[in-house]
Structure 1
């Protein structure tokens, strides 16, 4: 009697052991996926701050080159923030530290950070745009590698990434407009660029956004139309910079809420 019983127990032990092994493996995989996901969230938050600082640097330096010398101190303080933010990104994890795109951005910034001192507004603007575009590509890579779209689906994915594009449209309009306001004149080329960005921003505003956000963005668009792309720009560089910055903050607040939702759904 004992032999058949032992044999039966042995037969049962094999599938039970396999199930236990399978459950343990699944648990380990879930933990690894969760860790990867949260590391990605950490990267996104730090890179969002860096993006904001570099966009501000583009705007302030464009204004400085065009005559707003009062921006010099703000530029220097901002460069310190960018340096700290870059160090934070670099130390956030091995994946980022060893990333070729990140290394390229660090190298680019070493030259870009002092480029405005040459006094070439167009070159300064374009090089900032290239840097920011590459930073946005890196954010895309972080989202893909760390599976930041797996919890809420493709609709959320498109939404939060697109918000960064909208913020960049406004950021470019802020930089060009600050330069125009500082110089007190708007060339035909700048009028075309600002009108193009104005249309991009106008078509991107979502009716579901808070009323204050939509109202202030509409104010910015009206300001571009009536106080910048005219024969005699009539707004101070600092005032325009502050107005555009508020609009960017509205968009990035929407972005922050999207990231918070990703964290919530992953918990």
Structure 2
């Protein structure tokens, strides 16, 4: 009789433990899914902010090299940055209490306040520092909200490249765009600037080759990057560049935009799946 009682007690205890484990598993899954929704919304908005700051950097360099025809364009970008900052804070309320985010908003405010005193090199570096902070908070957010390790909705591929590799390639192209537009405006490429740009372009080529190995259906992206690289090599890295600043900016932007269009496409699919 005692043995039967112990057996029944043991079975009941096992069932209870399984129930508790199951409950915690369900709660963990729900929390993880909720965090992923938060993370996807946040990184999507942060990438859009990143795009605007990169555009502002390129336009700033052109203006500081003397092309004031782009003044209208840069004036149009600045309120978009502020609107996107407000959008990020509205959709990801936790950002307001994040130290990294406070540094980002402060850095942007200083760039716009001090712009009239900048040299082209100061402007370039201050923008690059700000962009590095935005890239860092995207990676941090992806890690905190379980986005790292997610797989694609269509190809079921590893999406790790979205949070780092793709954004890094876009930023490297953005740096070459910003420096190259200054050369196009000046109509002259000094040996020092040539060497600097060649170094950055080599980084673009190496990083993009690695990215194109893991990104699904990369044909359009590959074609736009190849066109951009050829433009830099054949029309910017010359003693006398043979392309206008506006045309160069557009070709560089096409390469960056194709990367970000893929990014946003994957974000839309992931968000649709996360909210089912």
TM range (shorter): 0.7 to 0.9
> Given the alignment of the two structures, is residue 183 of structure 1 paired with residue 204 of structure 2, yes or no?
no
Post-superposition offset of 1:155: 4.5
Map 1:1-267 → 2, pairs under 5 A: 16-152=15-151, 155-158=158-161, 160-203=163-206, 204-205=208-209, 206=212, 209-260=217-268, 262-263=270-271
Post-superposition offset of 1:230: 1.0
Q: Deviations over 1:104-132 (max 9, x none)?
A: 11111111124432240000001101111
Q: Deviations over 1:27-54 (max 9, x none)?
A: 2222111111110001100000000000
Q: Contact 2:149–2:158 (CA<8 Å) still a contact in 1?
A: no
User: Which range is displaced more, 255-264 or 84-93?
Assistant: 255-264
Residues 1:150 and 1:214: Cα distance change in structure 2 (over 3 Å): closer
Unaligned runs of 5+ in 1: 1-6
Give distance in 1, aligned partners of 2:170 and 2:7.
67
Give distance in 1, aligned partners of 2:118 and 2:92.
37
Give distance in 2, aligned partners of 1:238 and 1:160.
30
Post-superposition offset of 1:216: 2.6
User: Which range is displaced more, 52-61 or 233-242?
Assistant: 233-242
Give distance in 2, aligned partners of 1:64 and 1:116.
11
Q: How many residues align?
A: 265
Residues 1:211 and 1:14: Cα distance change in structure 2 (over 3 Å): closer
Q: Contact 2:138–2:163 (CA<8 Å) still a contact in 1?
A: no
SS at 1:151 equivalent: coil
Give distance in 1, aligned partners of 2:259 and 2:7.
65
Give distance in 1, aligned partners of 2:149 and 2:202.
33
**Structure-2-length-normalised TM-score:** 0.85
SS at 1:113 equivalent: helix
Give distance in 2, aligned partners of 1:258 and 1:193.
34
SS at 1:186 equivalent: coil
Unaligned runs of 5+ in 2: 1-5
**Structure-1-length-normalised TM-score:** 0.88
Residues 1:226 and 1:116: Cα distance change in structure 2 (over 3 Å): farther
Post-superposition offset of 1:222: 1.6
Residues 1:224 and 1:70: Cα distance change in structure 2 (over 3 Å): same
**CA RMSD for the aligned pairs?**
2.9
